[in-house]
Structure 1
Amino acid sequence: MAKQAIEKHRISIRLACMCMGISETCFRYESKLSAENKQVADWLLRLTQANKRWGFGLCYLYLRNVKGFTWNHKRVYRIYRDLELNLRIKPRQRILRDKPDELSVPTAPNQVWSIDFMSDGLSDGRKLRTFNVLDDYNREGLAIDVDLSLPSARVIRSLERVIEWRGKPAAIRCDNGPEFISGQLVNWATKNRITLLFIQPGKPTQNAYIERFNRTARHEWLDLHQFESVEHAQYLATEWLWTYNNERPNSAIGGIPPKWLMKAA
């Protein structure tokens, strides 16, 4: 308004500032960070387009911890809001329940793994299942095995494949699914001196690490793709798992990717 008054009425800057109630310093101020703001906006747009389910927290942690930018979170959030990138989350009614015992936090890799199944479907209507393996120490996804059916023999084969390059876990936490309580898996675990930690029926919170991983996989991988075949689903699973382990910040371990925690250990 002060600039318009100067141009229209040909008055001095001092008089225009007095009329509008602003200081001359404010009138003459020019932002020095406009170029960096464009860089922040460009990064935010690229991240949200490549990772459609990432919110502000993951975007900021990725820029700060993975890429090494020193931008303040308030500044990044202001630009994030200006670009209207904030996700709308429908609030859910919470049911009061008894607080479960806290899960023990492993202090080293291969102390406890968590395993679980997820279900989805192919474009032709056939049911698809995934077998997920997670190291509770650094929340690293060790495997996502995809197929139409995953019996106990296939579960054992997947675990042995991971053990070949990762090493043997001291214990494996799982629910009471038929594939897990079968004699075949129990005998295999006993033979390899691996303790099976079964959660109580109907208590998925006792297997919270893998349940949280499943939610992320559902949100950022399964819900975003239509699978033409098992091979197509397996390829996308492997691609997403690499991103999850090497680039996606994980707030549970300090906002860094799971692989980074292994390097620091």
Structure 2
Amino acid sequence: MKRILSILELNRSTYYDRKTVKQVKGLSKRGRPTPGYSMHKKGHKIPDEQIEEHLMEYYLDDEIGGLGYKKWTSLLVEHHGLIINKKKVYRLCKKLDILKESREKQAKHPRRLARNRIITAPNQLWQLDIKYGGITGTSYFVFMCCAIDVYDRSIVGIYRGSTCRAKDIITMLTKALIRRKIHFKPGEFEDKLIVRSDNGPQFVSHLFGDFCEYQKIHHERIPNKTPNMNAYIESFHSQIQRECFNRHSFGFYEEAYYYIDRYIDFYNAVRPHGSLKNLSPKAFSQLSLAGEIPIQEISL
């Protein structure tokens, strides 16, 4: 082989490199595929979507935001126990467009911080958040994004799937707006729906900002490390964790969807809620609209 390569004037490294690479139809690049998660020091998997949320928190922090992806890698290892290197953090930061050199770009949609409000009726304030759970025996995750009405605690919208992108949340919110018959005329501002979220990459994306602007929705984001400002959706996610995720193991996606959908129906229509006079969200909403329950003010 050495003699043949010498006659052909080819380097041995070139020959052996091409020989060992398996040409897989449909793939344009070599190397192992990115798994979509990183390992925690304790042995469990952390999906890339969760890591992206941590990176967005770093990016929006007044002090940590100026450090750059290499320092953020160290913080992910120290604060969140991740086994991750700077090359992967760089790829995720590039995907999110939060590399240090891009900080000078002017935001297309300015960040509106959540502030204290008094809620007196449905469809004034919805809270959004994303939750995920594992598929038993696999490295895959099922993602869930819910929207809760702060006044009557109804889950007005839900998305569940193998990924959770901005366009998935937009589709979910569009269906929720139709079901609740919410439509704002051009120029209206005071009575527009407020949607509150954290600083996850889906919620800070241009696509989500464009959607809120088009629908005349006031989108506000909670400051970093203040989950109490999104307490109602956080509380619901802790309930579904205890009463659904912990009680059922999901062997495949359709099974997860079945149990999640069944729980949402149970929560909205049957489950008594302590802060709603032990009524279900559906019953409370109906009695409230009929005037049989005095208007209550919720300050948050």
With the length of structure 1 as denominator, give the TM-score of the two structures: 0.59
Selected match of 1:158 from 162, 172, 190: 172
5+ residue gaps, structure 2: 1-113, 183-191, 289-300
- 8 Å CA contact 1:105–1:137 kept in 2: the answer is no
Aligned match of 2:154: 140
Aligned match of 2:130: 117
Find the aligned partners of 1:185 and 1:139 in 2 and give their Cα distance: 23
Assess, with a 3 A threshold, how the Cα gap between structure 1 residues 264 and 251 changes in structure 2: closer, same or farther.
Answer: same
Q: Does 1:233 align with 2:256?
A: yes
- 8 Å CA contact 1:109–1:138 kept in 2: the answer is yes
Aligned match of 1:189: 212
Q: Does 1:167 align with 2:181?
A: yes
With the length of structure 2 as denominator, give the TM-score of the two structures: 0.53
- 8 Å CA contact 2:198–2:223 kept in 1: the answer is yes
Find the aligned partners of 1:139 and 1:181 in 2 and give their Cα distance: 25
- 8 Å CA contact 2:131–2:237 kept in 1: the answer is yes
Residue-by-residue CA offset, 1:86-134 (whole Å, 9 max, x unaligned)? xxxxxxxxxxxxxxx9954521111111110011111232122111111
Q: How far is 1:217 from its partner?
A: 0.9
Residue-by-residue CA offset, 1:128-160 (whole Å, 9 max, x unaligned)? 211111111101112332111010011101111
Query: Sequence identity, in percent?
Result: 26
Find the aligned partners of 1:208 and 1:102 in 2 and give their Cα distance: 13
Find the aligned partners of 2:161 and 2:253 in 1 and give their Cα distance: 6
Residue-by-residue CA offset, 1:168-197 (whole Å, 9 max, x unaligned)? 361101000000010100111001100001
- 8 Å CA contact 1:145–1:234 kept in 2: the answer is no
- 8 Å CA contact 2:157–2:175 kept in 1: the answer is no
Q: How far is 1:226 from its partner?
A: 0.8
Q: Does 1:202 align with 2:225?
A: yes
Find the aligned partners of 2:180 and 2:210 in 1 and give their Cα distance: 21
2:168 match: secondary structure: helix
RMSD, matched Cα: 1.7
Q: How far is 1:167 from its partner?
A: 2.7
Aligned match of 1:130: 144
Where in structure 1 do 4 or more consecutive aligned residues deviate above 6 Å?
A: none
Find the aligned partners of 2:243 and 2:269 in 1 and give their Cα distance: 15
**Which aligned pairs between 1:1-265 and structure 2 lie closer than 5 A?**
104-125=117-138, 126-168=140-182, 170-265=193-288
Larger RCO (CA under 8 A, 6+ residues apart): 1
Find the aligned partners of 2:254 and 2:225 in 1 and give their Cα distance: 33
Bigger radius of gyration among the two: 1
2:120 match: secondary structure: coil
Determine which structure has the larger helix proportion and give its number. Answer: 1
